[in-house]
Homo-oligomer: A and B are copies of this chain.
C-alpha cells in the first residue's frame, strides 16, 4: 500500500500514517493537501492521510472542502497526540532567539507561550518538521522551531522547552482517504456533510433520528455558507455499528430531512492515540 501525506519525515502527518498503516508502509510525501488528493487520483498512492481537526483549533475546513471537491471517502482515522516543543540548534539559549518558525497550526496552538516573547518574529512554514529542518540546515542561531520531539531527534536539535502548546491534551484527528468507500463489517463511525431546509426546528428533527436510534453524536459543526444568504453547511459524525444498525435505512431517512447530503465515509473509529 502506498500512502500519501502532506509533510516531511518527522511531521505529525508521518506519525499518523505510520500509526495507522504500520512501519512497513510505503510513504509518498506531498507539498500541499491538494497534492495529496492528486496523488491518489493519478495513482501515485492508494490512500492519503490528512488532518481533519485539532482539539484546540477546530476543524481544518480546507480538507473538508477537498474531500467534497474530489468525491473521496474517509476509510479510517488516526488520532495523534500533539506535543509541540521549542527546538533550537545544539547549545542555543532562550535569550538568543529572535525568530520562531512552525506550521500555522503549530504557531496558533502555542499562542500563550509565544505571547510571552512578543519580540520573536513568527514565521509560518509549510509544516512543523520542515521548520525543524530549516533550523537544522541554516546557520542562524536565533532561529527556533516549534515541532515534535521526533523532529528534534531526526534533525539533531535541542528541546529547549517541552509542551509549548496551551492544551496539554492536544490531539489531531487524521483521516485516511481513498477514491472509493471501503466496506468492512467493523466500520462503526459515519461522517456526514449536509445542508438543511430553511425551517425552524430542522436540525432538531434531524437529530431526532439519531436520538431515537440511540446513535451517539461524535461531532456537530455548522458553517455559514455566505454565498447562499446565511444557509449553513453542517459536519456531523455519529457512532454506528454496521452489524446492529440498519444504516442504509437511517441514511435514507437523514436524506429526507436534509436539503443536500454527502456521506463522507463509513469507517472504523480510532481506539487509541499514537504514539
Name A's B-contacting residues (CB within 8 A).
31-35, 55-59, 61-62, 104, 107-108, 111-112, 115, 118, 121-126, 167-171, 200-201, 203-205, 207-208, 210-211, 214-217, 219-227
Contacts and interface: CB of A to CB of B under 8 A. Distances in A.
Contact of A107 (B34, B124, B171, B201): B124
B169 A55 contact: no
Contacts of A115: 32, 34-35
Nearest 6 interchain pairs by C-beta = A124-B124, A169-B226, A201-B211, A204-B211, A204-B207, A169-B227
Contacts of A168: 227
Contacts of A227: 167-169
A122 B125 contact: yes
Nearest to A115: B32
Chain A interface secondary structure, helix, strand, loop or mixed?
Answer: mixed
Contacts of A221: 58, 220-222
Contact of A61 (B32, B56, B124, B208): B56
A170 to B, nearest CB: 7
A207 B203 contact: yes
A226 B171 contact: yes
Given A62-B111, A168-B227, A122 B122 contact: no
Contacts of A118: 31-32
Given A107-B124, A169-B227, A204-B210, 8 more contacts: A32-B118, A55-B223, A122-B125, A123-B123, A168-B227, A204-B208, A205-B211, A221-B221
B104 A55 contact: no
Contacts of A171: 224, 226
A169 to B, nearest CB: 4
A104 B111 CA distance: 12
A31 to B, nearest CB: 6
A111 B65 CA distance: 12
A138 to B, nearest CB: 13
Nearest to A173: B224
Contact of A124 (B104, B205, B207, B226): B104
